[in-house]
């Protein structure tokens, strides 16, 4: 049985990846320090003999047998990664080196979950992998943006120096069930506010754009990337359908039947004005493109949050 290690496996995306890997018949080791990951995301897997959970911070070395490694360990929402920026930077440097050392020791293939934030506030649109970005190295987002850029650097240096079998993906905005209701991300914020009838908060004037990929599509892309020979990446994984934040708020309000009002706050420092992936490489090299449209994905996500919020009221 192939052994897969998923660092950050109790998180939103990581837990969906653990599901997929166990469904495919792999032995899965989920490693998470539970800083933003939640045990409830993997509770349903705890009784599965092919699944194992280890509470561990990857900033400390780990010795374990694995055939393939997925590194998703890092807080991903500004609210959480800015809470402890030094920890975030260390996770993307010391933690990444520990995962690369583990891959080297096991002669394992390793995938790094990088991010569209390596492009910063882009002056090139949409963003292809060749674009080197527009990042503020001293701003409040740098612990994450520059941290992920450094993580990519380490991956490619290990590949050149030691022949480590690497894969690097750049994840664009992803949403779906198991998002933390309090993580501060735009989709979860809007849905929770709409269901509760609270004011929907938009930062800036709402003209900034994002592209939203449903989590199942992302997991498909991650699995294809890991299993495709002859490509290291980086490869963008995201949905190229672009939408204004104001239009997203209106759509979610309509889909939930909410009477919430939209209110506006100042735009946070270095918040990107636009975000849309070029997925030409993903299609050419992996045969991947997203299949779930925004309305379908939002319907599933709203259903999840309805259940979670009702449960919390009991």
Name the 3-class secondary structure at 49: coil
Q: Given a cut of 60, is residue 187 above it in pLDDT?
A: yes
Edge-first strand order for the sheet with 27-32 is: 51-55, 27-32, 3-7, 68-71, 109-115, 166-171, 235-237
Whether pLDDT at 100 is above 50: yes
Domain presence at residue 191: no
Strands (E), the chain: 3-7, 27-32, 51-55, 68-71, 109-115, 166-171, 174-175, 200-203, 209-211, 213-214, 235-237, 242-244, 262-265
In a domain, 107, yes or no: yes
Structure tokens belonging to residue 186: 């735009």
Q: Is residue 249 part of a domain?
A: no
Q: Is 18 inside any structural domain?
A: yes
* Across 106-113, average pLDDT: 98
Query: What CA–CA distances, in Å, run from 89 to 73, 151, 271, 277?
Result: 12, 10, 19, 25
Q: Let me know: does 307 contact 192? Beta carbons within 8 Å.
A: no
Output the CA torsion 207→213→214→220 (10° steps).
Answer: 180
Residue 127 in any domain: the answer is yes
Give Cβ neighbours of residue 83 (< 8 Å, ≥ 6 apart). 75
pLDDT at 314: 45
pLDDT at res. 1? 74
Kindly state whether residue 13 falls inside one of the protein's structural domains. Answer: yes
pLDDT score of 291 more than 90: yes
Please determine, for residue 102, whether its predicted confidence score (pLDDT) is greater than 70.
yes
SS3 96: helix
pLDDT tens digits, one per residue of 130-139? 999 999 999 9
Does 200 or 267 have the greater pLDDT score? 200
The domain in which residue 132 lies consists of: 3-174+214-237
Say if residue 115's pLDDT is above 60.
Answer: yes
Q: Looking at the domain assignment, is residue 310 inside a domain?
A: no
Q: Which residues of 239-276 are buried (b: 16+ CB within 10 A; e: fewer)?
A: bbebeebbebbeebbeebebebeeeeeeeeebebebbb
Catalytic machinery residues: 144
Mean pLDDT of the chain: 96
Q: What is the pLDDT of residues 258-281, one digit of tens each?
A: 999 999 999 888 888 999 999 999
Is 284 domain-assigned? no
pLDDT tens sequence across 34-52: 999 999 999 999 999 999 9
Percentage of the residues of the chain whose pLDDT score is greater than 90: 95
Contact between residue 166 and residue 279 where contact means Cβ atoms under 8 Å apart: no
Tokens of 198: 């609270």
- Can you give the CATH number for the domain in which 73 is found? 3.40.50.720
Give the pLDDT of residue 310: 85
Q: How many domains does the chain have?
A: 1
């Amino acid at each position: 049985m192939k052994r897969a290690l998923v660092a950050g496996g109790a998180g939103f995306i990581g837990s969906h990846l653990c599901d997929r890997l166990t469904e495919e018949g792999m032995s899965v080791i989920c490693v998470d320090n539970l800083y933003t990951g939640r045990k409830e995301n993997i509770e349903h897997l705890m009784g599965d003999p092919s699944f194992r959970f280890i509470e561990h911070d990857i900033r400390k070395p780990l010795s374990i047998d694995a055939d393939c490694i997925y590194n998703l360990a890092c807080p991903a929402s500004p609210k959480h990664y800015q809470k402890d920026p030094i920890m975030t930077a260390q996770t993307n440097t010391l933690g990444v080196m520990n995962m690369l050392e583990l891959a080297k020791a096991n002669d394992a293939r390793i995938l790094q979950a990088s991010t569209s934030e390596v492009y910063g506030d882009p002056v090139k649109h949409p963003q292809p992998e060749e674009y080197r970005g527009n990042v503020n190295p001293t701003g409040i987002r740098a612990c994450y943006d520059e941290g992920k850029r450094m993580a990519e650097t380490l991956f490619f240096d290990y590949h050149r120096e030691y022949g480590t079998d690497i894969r690097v993906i750049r994840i664009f905005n992803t949403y779906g069930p198991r998002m933390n209701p309090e993580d501060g991300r735009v989709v979860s914020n809007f849905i929770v506010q709409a269901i509760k009838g609270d004011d929907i908060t938009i930062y800036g004037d709402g003209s900034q754009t994002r592209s939203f990929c449903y989590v199942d599509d992302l997991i498909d892309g991650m699995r294809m990337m890991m299993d495709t020979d002859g490509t290291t990446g980086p490869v963008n994984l995201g949905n190229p359908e672009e939408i204004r934040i104001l239009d997203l708020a209106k759509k979610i309000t309509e889909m939930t039947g909410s009477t919430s009002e939209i209110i506006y706050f100042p735009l946070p420092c270095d918040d990107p004005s636009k975000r849309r992936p070029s997925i030409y490489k993903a299609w050419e090299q992996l045969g991947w493109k997203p299949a779930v449209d925004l309305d379908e994905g939002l319907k599933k996500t709203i259903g999840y949050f309805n259940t979670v919020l009702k449960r919390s009221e009991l």
